[in-house]
Amino acid sequence: MTESERIQEILRGCRTIAVVGLSPKPHRASFDVARYLQAQGYRIIPVNPNATEVLGEKAYATLTDAARHASIELVNCFRHSEDIPPIVDEAIAIGAKAVWMQLGIAHPAAAAKAKAAGLRVVQDHCIKVDHRVLLSSGLL
């Protein structure tokens, strides 16, 4: 499967997205991307221990807490690369289908662990940009 096919599969098949590091501040990239995805019909679950609500959705301190209230299919990461391994561990533990590391974020060892556990993985890509490209190409 090519990277483009994997991205299409994730964006078609994962409708509930936990956004780890989602800021409640409208000028932050995480907020802009999550708002865009929400407008495209995805359910956004904010994961930020310093927020109570973002984009009209209750925020949770951890993925594990969020997974107690919603079935999370995709974990979208807005955290530093060095913070990714524990997020991947939680994504595996909650039964997520995929992990997406935003533009500038990559962790090869954590990605390999996620893939070995059966999750689809995207690294160093902006989900908003990829969604827009596929949508405008008629592939979504």
Chain segment 106-115, per-residue pLDDT in tens? 999 999 999 9
Domain that holds residue 128: 3-134
Residue with the larger pLDDT of the pair 1 and 43: 43
In-domain check, residue 62: yes
In a domain, 86, yes or no: yes
Mean of the per-residue pLDDT values of the chain: 96
Q: What is the pLDDT of residues 114-123, one digit of tens each?
A: 999 999 999 9
Cα separations (Å) of 94 from 7, 42, 62, 65? 21, 19, 11, 10
- pLDDT at residue number 139: 84
Asked, for residue 140, whether it belongs to a domain, the answer is no
> 88 φ, ψ to 5°?
-60, -40
13: in domain: yes
Q: Is residue 104 part of a domain?
A: yes
With cut-offs at 50, 70 and 90, classify the pLDDT of residue 9. Answer: very high
Residue 7 covered by a domain: yes
Which pLDDT score, from 0 to 100, does residue 1 have? 76
Whole-angstrom distance, CA of residue 104 vs CA of residue 81: 8
Residue 6: count other Cβ atoms within 10 Å of its Cβ: 14
Structural domain total, the chain: 1
Which residue did the predictor score with more confidence, 3 or 97?
Answer: 97
The reported pTM is: 0.95
Give percent of the chain above pLDDT 90: 92
Domain assignment present for residue 55? The answer is yes
pLDDT of residue 140: 82
pLDDT digits (tens, 9 = 90+) for 51-75: 999 999 999 999 999 999 999 999 9
Find the CATH number of the domain harbouring 104: 3.40.50.720
Q: Is residue 53 part of a domain?
A: yes
